[in-house]
Structure 1
Amino acid sequence: MKPYIIFITGLFLLIALSALAQEKKLTLQDAVHLAIDKNRDLQVSRLEINKSAHKVREAKGYALPTVAASGQYLHFLQRQVTFLPGNFAGLADNQIATLRVGGTDAYVGGISLVQPVFQGEIFSGIRAAKLAESLSEEDLAFTQAIVVTEVKKAYLQALITNEQLKLQQQSIARNEQELKDSRSLLAQGRASRVDTLRAYITIENLRPDIIRLTNGVEIAKTVLKTTIGLPESEAIELTDSLSYDSTLPAILSATAWEEAVTARPEVTRLVITEKLNTEQIKLESASYLPRISAIGLAQTQTQANDFRFGDYKWPVSSYVGLQLSVPIFSGFRTAARIQQAKVSRLQSSTQLENTRELIRAEVKIALSRVEESRRRIESQGQTVSTAELSYRITRDRWKQGIASRLDLSDAELSLSQAKSNYLQAVYDYLTATVDLDKALGRIR
């Protein structure tokens, strides 16, 4: 192989490897947009809409004419028999004469047409199919709300796990500094060996949490990629951060329920289901009505005893007319189907009423959780400031020999706990706002 070919091949391999190693940067909105495009559940829902559109086309097809061509070939091992009165064959009048007629080979071909003129179930079927198509669109909206909510929560879970890892690393850094100070003070005779050992043990007790949280970050990213629809092997980097925006206006609970009932796809879906069940009653009731169809047939036939097709005669017969079909008795099946449709409509009405009440409770709970987490953030923010001040004072006192090593450990633990509580409060607030958006139907 020539050297320049080896060089070009190696260059392409390096570019490919660098592209594979590059992490995909994702904001929260990027993750949502990717999920809407790539999530497999949403893809299935879109295919269902496509199938429903074809069902509408099928329903409309019942109003169009049906044209069929037919052909038939028969070879008679024994030719057909015609029965005639006896006097036609010189027999007594009370006798029946038999006469074999036709050829040994028979050919029949024709074209038939049936055009529905009046069939009540056709138009009910078209309306039902269109409602079913709208139903599948609402199913897509419902699935999208679930997927977007899951993606946002998975993204936030990955963020908080990463932030918890950073907090643990900060705690280890503080304790490592304290261990360094302990050794320095021990060398000066101003601290005991127990203080140094205690600082070392504290650091080693924190290291397993680093391993657990590091693995937790990878697990959270894997869950996020699966929810989005990305391949598990693709590396991603989350660019957003856990942050609290205190300027966001509060949502009025008085109008929240009305907004939710109007926007939620579950409610719209049940409203459409109720209409569909009403249309199903009309569809089944149409079975009691007569059916009128326009019919027509053009047919040619011939019979022969040989295969000299050029000598055959093909006489044509044709007709057009109207066909009337009046249902009289169907074993009570139609009445039973009508009653089933009425029960289904009653079920959908009850489900609609129940869903509205569940949404009312869901909105109330979501608003309560948002407000609760907002208050916790405000409270924990002050606690973190106080804990930081307490830690600095205790650390200075410990260096001066006024405070004990145990006091410093307590102050560091309180600071870590305060930061962790604040982080958890921000996470709870953000997840609560995600749940509130879903409860209000703001995710479409």
Structure 2
Amino acid sequence: MNKYNLILVFLAFSVFLPGQETTLRLSLKDAVETGVKNRYDLQAADYNLDIANNDISRAKKEWLPDVSASGNVHINTQLQKMFIPAGFAGLEDPMLVGLGAYNVSVFGVDVSQPIYNKNIRTDMAIARNNLELEREKKREAENNIRERIEQSYLNVLLRDLQYRIAQNNEQRYKAYFELAETKFRQGALIENDYLKARLDLDNAAVETQKVKQNYELSLTNLKYQINVAPETELILTDSLESIDLATDVVPVEAGIANRSEIRQLSIMEEGNRLKALHARQLSLPTLSAFGNFSEQFTYNGLNFFQSEWWSSFSYVGVRLRVPITARTQNRLLESDFTIRTVQTGLNLKQRTADISYQIRNAATELDNARQNMETTRNNYELSQTIYKNQQVQFDLGALQYNHLLDTEKALSAAEQNYIQAVYQFLLAEIGYRKAAGVF
């Protein structure tokens, strides 16, 4: 193979390889983990945590000394004149004299250190409170996404089963039609029953097509929920009957405490208290130490390298700041956050009552769904037995087609009811887990 052939092979791989479909084998757990990992909104929420952590670091550094350097090159284009009275330095008459240098430049370092400031500690507490709130917001977002992925996964399994049942029904109706066609040609079946068997087959084919479309839509939705490419082929390794969510019933009080909404409201209530305290502390005096060291250049020229015209000075001090006019505004700000605290407390009480009802209602729905699943399972097993017996009778000519068809429809309905009951039970488990905050 010459070099040109090698280049063509390489180009072929370059063109076609990226377009190959990706295949993912996913259990329910895998689907949830994939979705949580791939979702861009959860990745964006991580940056909110980074910002909140930065706020904590910034609040901690408020205790550090503030050191700054400054430089001021001052050129006097016209000196300010000073009044000299008569008799000073032997002057007979008063006069105005311009005193100073053409170039007065100062370069220095300033240092300020907080000594007493109540709000610095409160700022750190508020920053930590915001971090906890962002964590709970992300936890709530994750739980909502987990719920949607689990529901979408179960919906695919349900639609897949319905599609397979529809295919089996179509095959059964096809077999009935072929048998009816044979009997009709032999004169053992009236034309109306023959035409009805043909119509049943056509209706079954239409139903299969509709169920297939629903299955494909459910797959598309699952791909969207876990954020994978539309061309990805998904192979679900779990089935409705094999999935065990291992849902344990928890006390109502524990479920309420687990809910992210309750934690968020509690954190917000504490945050409003801290902000009210912060507003009150704005009216307190603050105390800080300060110092300065500077080098000054005084001369009539711009040659800063003449060392004899440089001089240094320094000072230290303590600064006390007592707010006076700002007290009124601070009291209004404190009142605002106090009202918000009361408001959040009332919302917390109402949300607690709401979630208490949700947990109890979800537990009841879970128990009802479990009972319905057991009942439909028994009905399905019974309908299978009846159908098998009547199929033998039909093959022997001891049962008319319409009677067998009624049994066939009853079996199909029982099968659909059982599958739907299993699906509803799993959804009830998901609903209870969300209500009890045990995702």
Task: Answer whether contact 2:122 2:278 (CA < 8 A) is retained.
Answer: yes
In 1, the alpha carbon distance for the partners of 2:260 and 2:179 equals 61
Could you state the TM-score of these two structures normalised by the residue count of structure 1? 0.90
Task: Look up the match of 1:216.
Answer: 214
Bigger mean CA offset, 408-417 vs 352-361: 408-417
Task: Answer whether contact 1:195 1:405 (CA < 8 A) is retained.
Answer: yes
In 2, the alpha carbon distance for the partners of 1:257 and 1:325 equals 52
CA RMSD of aligned residues (A): 2.6
| SS of the residue 1:173 aligns to | helix
| SS of the residue 2:326 aligns to | coil
Bigger mean CA offset, 159-168 vs 103-112: 103-112
In 2, the alpha carbon distance for the partners of 1:36 and 1:72 equals 56
Distance 1:100 1:339, change over 3 A: same
Task: Answer whether contact 1:106 1:301 (CA < 8 A) is retained.
Answer: yes
In 2, the alpha carbon distance for the partners of 1:337 and 1:14 equals 64
Q: Percent of counterpart pairs with the same letter?
A: 24
In 1, the alpha carbon distance for the partners of 2:244 and 2:125 equals 50
1:264 aligns with 2:259: yes
1:64 Cα offset (Å)? 1.1
Task: Look up the match of 2:205.
Answer: 207
Aligned amino acid, residue 336 of structure 1: L
Distance 1:98 1:191, change over 3 A: farther
Task: Look up the match of 1:355.
Answer: 351
| SS of the residue 2:73 aligns to | strand
In 2, the alpha carbon distance for the partners of 1:297 and 1:85 equals 36
1:86 Cα offset (Å)? 5.6
1:91 Cα offset (Å)? 7.0
| SS of the residue 2:302 aligns to | coil
In 2, the alpha carbon distance for the partners of 1:250 and 1:121 equals 46
Task: Answer whether contact 2:21 2:231 (CA < 8 A) is retained.
Answer: no
Task: Look up the match of 1:165.
Answer: 163
Which of 136, 139, 155 in structure 2 is aligned with 1:138?
136
Task: Look up the match of 1:310.
Answer: 305
Could you state the TM-score of these two structures normalised by the residue count of structure 2? 0.91
Task: Answer whether contact 2:245 2:429 (CA < 8 A) is retained.
Answer: no
| SS of the residue 1:315 aligns to | strand
The within-5 A match list for 1:119-268 is 119-243=117-241, 251=249, 255-268=250-263
Bigger mean CA offset, 180-189 vs 74-83: 74-83
| SS of the residue 2:6 aligns to | helix
Task: Look up the match of 2:56.
Answer: 56
Task: Look up the match of 2:414.
Answer: 418
Distance 1:42 1:274, change over 3 A: same
1:80 Cα offset (Å)? 3.3
Bigger mean CA offset, 230-239 vs 402-411: 402-411
In 2, the alpha carbon distance for the partners of 1:356 and 1:47 equals 30
1:392 aligns with 2:388: yes
| SS of the residue 1:342 aligns to | helix
In 2, the alpha carbon distance for the partners of 1:263 and 1:175 equals 52
Bigger mean CA offset, 303-312 vs 288-297: 303-312
Which of 374, 377, 381 in structure 2 is aligned with 1:378?
374
Distance 1:175 1:74, change over 3 A: same
In 2, the alpha carbon distance for the partners of 1:169 and 1:338 equals 69
Q: How many residues are aligned here?
A: 436
1:103 Cα offset (Å)? 3.4
Deviations 1:176-207 (Å, cap 9, x if unpaired)?
11011111212222112322322222222232
The within-5 A match list for 1:38-77 is 38-77=38-77
Task: Answer whether contact 1:300 1:314 (CA < 8 A) is retained.
Answer: yes
Task: Answer whether contact 1:108 1:299 (CA < 8 A) is retained.
Answer: yes
In 2, the alpha carbon distance for the partners of 1:348 and 1:424 equals 42
Bigger mean CA offset, 315-324 vs 276-285: 276-285
Bigger mean CA offset, 76-85 vs 22-31: 76-85
Task: Answer whether contact 2:118 2:281 (CA < 8 A) is retained.
Answer: yes
Task: Answer whether contact 1:278 1:342 (CA < 8 A) is retained.
Answer: yes
Task: Look up the match of 1:5.
Answer: 6
Task: Look up the match of 2:399.
Answer: 403
Aligned amino acid, residue 304 of structure 2: F
Task: Look up the match of 1:278.
Answer: 273
The within-5 A match list for 1:424-435 is 424-435=420-431
In 1, the alpha carbon distance for the partners of 2:235 and 2:373 equals 26
In 2, the alpha carbon distance for the partners of 1:213 and 1:82 equals 101
Task: Look up the match of 1:111.
Answer: 109
In 2, the alpha carbon distance for the partners of 1:274 and 1:326 equals 30
Distance 1:83 1:52, change over 3 A: farther
In 2, the alpha carbon distance for the partners of 1:75 and 1:327 equals 37
Distance 1:441 1:249, change over 3 A: closer
1:148 Cα offset (Å)? 1.0
In 2, the alpha carbon distance for the partners of 1:233 and 1:88 equals 99
| SS of the residue 2:377 aligns to | helix
Task: Answer whether contact 1:256 1:363 (CA < 8 A) is retained.
Answer: no
Task: Answer whether contact 1:190 1:401 (CA < 8 A) is retained.
Answer: no
In 1, the alpha carbon distance for the partners of 2:56 and 2:361 equals 41
Deviations 1:180-235 (Å, cap 9, x if unpaired)?
11112122221123223222222222323323332322322222222223233322
In 2, the alpha carbon distance for the partners of 1:87 and 1:231 equals 97
Bigger mean CA offset, 241-250 vs 59-68: 241-250
